[in-house]
Amino acid sequence: MGKEKNYWLLKTEPGEWSWDDQAANGGLSKWDGVKNKQAQKYMKGMGVGDLCFFYHSGAKSRRVVGVVEVVRGWYEEGEGGGAVDVKAVGEMKTAVGLAEMKKELKGVEFSLFRQPRLSVLPVEKGVWDKVCEMGGGYEGEEECDD
């Protein structure tokens, strides 16, 4: 029996690394540059096969735009740093904005609302399913479930 799949949210400023950059890179990239120790702890908990929302942050974006899969777990890089490798799975059929999530998930415990400054966050399965439903799923998948 395999390891249980976990779900995450990875934030990026679209001016630094956007969904288009991810897709243009053959879909594969190293997710690095995370300095916050709590965010690094979450990354260390990622396993191959875990799915992550690709979230554009910044004043004008703040939305889930796609889904990536972890293809290589945490590895050390440089002094006190590390990375995971992720591969694009598909773009959300409809991007899901932060304001919409706050409205639809009102009263739901979601780390994005509790720890908005962290760039890597865990996502509960129920929240994952709801956000996927809100976005109509993502390309390459019939539904947003595994």
Burial 66-79 (b: 16+ CB within 10 A, else e): bbbbbeebbeeeee
User: Which position has the token pair 């974006």?
Assistant: 61
Q: What is the pTM of this model?
A: 0.92
Among residues 85, 104, 84, 86, the alpha carbon closest in space to that of 94 is found at 104
pLDDT in tens, 8-66: 999 999 999 999 999 988 899 999 999 999 999 999 999 999 999 999 998 888 999 99
Q: HSE of 5 in the Cβ direction (CA atoms, 13 Å)?
A: 12
Tell me the pLDDT tens digit for each residue of 75-130: 999 887 899 999 999 999 999 999 999 999 988 889 999 888 899 999 999 999 99
